[in-house]
Amino acid sequence: MSAAFAMTPTARATPSPSLRASSIAARRAVVAPAAARRLAPSSSSRSSRATRVVATRAEYGDVERARGQDYNASANVFVDAFFLRGKPAGDNAITPSELSYLRGAQRKDLTRRYNRRGDAAMFVIRDDDGNGDVVGCVGAEVQRFQGIVPLSRADAETKGEVLDRPVIANLAVAASARRRGVAKRLMRAVEDEIRGWGYDEAVLVVESSNGKAKGLYGKLGYKVVGGEAATPNIVISEEGKVVNGAVRTSFMRKDLTKPDGGAGAPPAAVAVAVAVAVAVAAKVGGVF
């Protein structure tokens, strides 16, 4: 299952023609929480965050809050899903050194973004066969944007109100666990977490050509409210190197106060703001 985009570490090669665009955890601007578009949190929402476990048993284990080595395991699941799935084993395959780099960089970024205090969290589902291997992951954090641009990329000509938005990213499911409801369970868990933070919406971004992911998010109540023709991203070059690139993306938003995410697009003013509050795959080197 494809995931919402995230941000990436710096590529170690000069941009060159690419075969396949992928995403890896993106850099974010560290910002103080703002009250924009927040709900009034319930009396127990924050006090229970540290111990909350979403009991949604199915073929696999419960949805759990990530801890310890889960970040490393999640990084492997994510890289496998977005850099290795469908990739040829011979020509144009990612080189072993670049693959090792991606796994390490992804692990560090997931840990930095989600293993901290404040409005940030990562959830995992494990294989229930006794090994406890992570088969799915998803993260969420609050990021700040101005208009349709991440605040860290904004300049003097950037227009729009500065607002914080809860961003869902790094949704990935191992090949062995796909089409079994893992992604949906993870999304329900992370949306519940965001409600606990006091927000009434969730936003994400997906590659426009990724019909399966867009279909999943659409069924879960997310609606396209904007897009970008060339979102900074990383790609694998013809030489199997990680390089800077760009892809067309769609920005999606869900109204968490309504079961189906709400009918129709949000008001224009809101759509502009939420269209940019996304976990976009970053220009390597840190757009966010």
HEC letters along 149-204: EEHHHCCCCCCCCEEEEEEEEEEEECHHHCCCCHHHHHHHHHHHHHHHHCECEEEE
Q: Which CATH number fits domain 18-41+49-275: 3.30.2290.10, 1.10.357.10, 1.10.3720.10, 3.40.630.30?
A: 3.40.630.30
Report the range of poorest mean pLDDT among 67-71, 85-89, 169-173.
Answer: 85-89
pLDDT value of position 147: 64
Q: How confident is the model at residue 5 (pLDDT cuts 50, 70, 90)?
A: low
Cβ proximity of 4 and 216 under 8 Å: no
Closest CA to 283 of 214, 234, 227, 236: 234
**Domain positions in the chain:** 18-41+49-275
What is the Cα–Cα distance from 5 to 69, expressed in whole angstroms?
A: 22
Residue type (1 letter), 120: A
Residue 161 has pLDDT above 90, yes or no: no
Q: How confident is the model at residue 217 (pLDDT cuts 50, 70, 90)?
A: very high
Residue 224 has pLDDT above 70, yes or no: yes
pLDDT in tens, 230-275: 888 877 888 888 888 888 888 899 999 987 776 444 443 333 333 3
pLDDT value of position 16: 40
pLDDT value of position 146: 72
The length of the chain in residues reads 288
pLDDT value of position 269: 35
pLDDT value of position 4: 57
Packing angle between helix 96-114 and helix 70-79, nearest 10 degrees? 130
- The mean predicted confidence, pLDDT, of the chain is 75
Which of 92-106, 179-193, 221-235 ranks highest by mean pLDDT? 179-193
Residue 109 has pLDDT above 90, yes or no: yes
pLDDT value of position 272: 33
More confident position, 112 or 270: 112
Report the range of poorest mean pLDDT among 34-38, 69-73, 178-182.
Answer: 34-38
What is the Cα–Cα distance from 248 to 207, expressed in whole angstroms?
A: 6
Residue 86 has pLDDT above 90, yes or no: no
Question: CA dihedral defined by 212, 127, 53, 55, rounded to 10 degrees?
Answer: 80
Report the range of poorest mean pLDDT among 39-53, 85-99, 174-188, 273-287.
Answer: 273-287
Q: How confident is the model at residue 84 (pLDDT cuts 50, 70, 90)?
A: confident
